[in-house]
Chains A and B, each alone.
Chain A
């Protein structure tokens, strides 16, 4: 911006950049900030899942199936965990009095790979094998639900962001091209979008899922889920961007760029798409939950992430058994994680939308 010498210092303080204004408005919305902080915490936990989780996602403890949540207790200056034993024949665990062991911090335990490539075995906390710390209990194979929840968060949380990034990139480019060139290109692209959007999402997801072979490795399944969700997600984005481009292309700065001889591609990417950015950020934040839920549903139905790999969806499959659900309600822990994540995204997205709306 050109600074005029006549502008006083006081006035300059008020000419904030659009981003600063946006940030100021966002900061005033408590609920959005709460959502943002929760999300940062969740993603940090997912990043350090191996370290924070006391066990490996596939650490079987078959003597302790359906162990109820066992929280450490404060005794003097350190935490202790009690030992529980199941009654013969059922999974009613009872604490054994006066048999406790301290919880240690930064202990060696199951091997894991920090950030996916640094081999490590130090865990934030842990205890000896007879006195396990099962914060959220165990599942039918005696696997620690808390640890699996953390490992699952790596998949569920990252799929949302990667999926959004892919489908929004496609949506932006296709929508921009469609709106900029208009005419026949536009008609063909928009008819195709309508086609995709007129199929109820889950039916389309299942048809797309059918095209992939069974017996894929876990990373292939991960990529597959992202591809499937992106194949569907780009259409609605492209439609909105196309509408915005249609009006933006009539603006004078586009005419200026064109008369300067810039290529069509450059005009779309450099001049038109940046003008849709505030909408895109809001829409992306509000759409992440759909991608997370897409993964959850696929894995829940048994066609997504496969055992023993943990995802929030396939962990919930165990809760489909009414008998399990009644007796071991802690199997629902992943759904609480899903709820908190989606709620946080909605809080943040709602605040972003209000902050981006300059009319209000």
Chain B
């Protein structure tokens, strides 16, 4: 098991290096940089801009820039954000934390609702329960995060039960820690629900078909033949085996979740990585874009890593291979 974990961890390093290289190359192909707009400002002399460019190594070829960037990353330093004028490290980690919290709660909502619904639909196959569940999942698969986010904004504005966007109230800094925590949670609920709603359908369908597959298996028939109760057969025999394939889609659902979070963050003004990426993109703050992409990838790769470990833990065939 430890060998398995170690091997998977080692696998992540070249992947992240490759991703950062690709993003760096793409950003170097981008026309203009952060200082292009500054050049138009007659108050800033060309010498100042040249000096600033040299300070950020923007006057060097992209691979040299990459090496500088890589060296500072190894020291745990994500550089200095040109547009925000603060060290990028604190910025990135604050935003990463917000995206993580948003995705994490969305995932809990989604799995918490989708698994029981999927089981219910499979047990009541071909009844109105099953049909309405499959209708909901079709609708859920087809509805875009954009529409859901816009509807959530409308809902917040119409009922005033939830704040309209953002992660904290204007007077957040004046609150006691407990109030701050509640304020953050209050802001979190709506975006997390939106994100969960778009993720729910796929998991529910998967759970339903997994359980149906195992219910057809021979050991289930054998259990029934031995005279076990239907509840015992489903929850003790079938369900345990239907959960395994779900762990594999955990990784896929995480990728969808991160892309969904990108949209939700941008519409509902949730200060996460996706929103930061767009802000950095518009400001042409190229290092910050690279940082965001690498961190988002790291989050996804780490999630897949956890899914792999869970899978290996629950299925010995995988860890012994």
Residues on A close to B: CB < 8 A? 191, 194-195, 198-204, 206-214, 289, 293, 296-297, 300-301, 303, 313, 316, 319-320, 322-323, 325-326, 329, 332, 335, 338-339, 342-343, 346-347, 350
Contact = CB atoms under 8 A, between A and B. Distances in A.
B153 A325 contact: yes
B85 to A, nearest CB: 21
Given A199-B296, A206-B277, A322-B153, A338 B19 contact: no
B144 A342 contact: yes
A202 B259 contact: yes
Contact of B19 (A199, A303, A313, A339): A199
Contacts of B301: 198
Interface of B: 15, 18-19, 22-23, 26-27, 29-31, 138-139, 141-144, 146-147, 150, 153-154, 156-158, 164, 255, 258-259, 262-263, 266-267, 274, 277-278, 281, 286, 289, 292-293, 296-297, 300-301, 304
Given A209-B281, A325-B154, A202 B142 contact: no
Given A211-B29, A297-B263, A322 B293 contact: no
A326 B154 contact: yes
B177 to A, nearest CB: 30
B158 to A, nearest CB: 6
Nearest to A303: B281
B293 A301 contact: no
Contact of A203 (B27, B266, B293): B293
Judged by DSSP, the binding face of B is helix
Nearest to B205: A350
6 contacts: A200-B255, A202-B258, A211-B26, A316-B150, A335-B146, A342-B141
Contacts of A213: 31
Contacts of B156: 322
A209 B27 CA distance: 10
Contact of B259 (A200, A209, A319): A200
| Most-contacted residue by chain B among A210, A332, A346, A350 (CB, 10 A) | A210
Contacts of B286: 210
Given A198-B297, A199-B293, A199-B296, A339 B258 contact: no
Contacts of B267: 320
A43 to B, nearest CB: 17
Given A195-B19, A339-B147, A289 B157 contact: no
A201 to B, nearest CB: 5
Nearest to A329: B154
Nearest to B30: A210
A297 B301 CA distance: 24
A325 B144 contact: no
Nearest to B28: A211
B297 A335 contact: no
B15 A194 contact: yes
Contacts of A289: 142
A208 B26 contact: yes
B264 to A, nearest CB: 11
B23 A207 contact: yes
A198 B293 CA distance: 11
B147 A335 contact: yes
Q: 7 shortest A-B CB distances, which residue pairs?
A: A335-B147, A343-B142, A200-B258, A202-B262, A342-B142, A211-B29, A210-B30
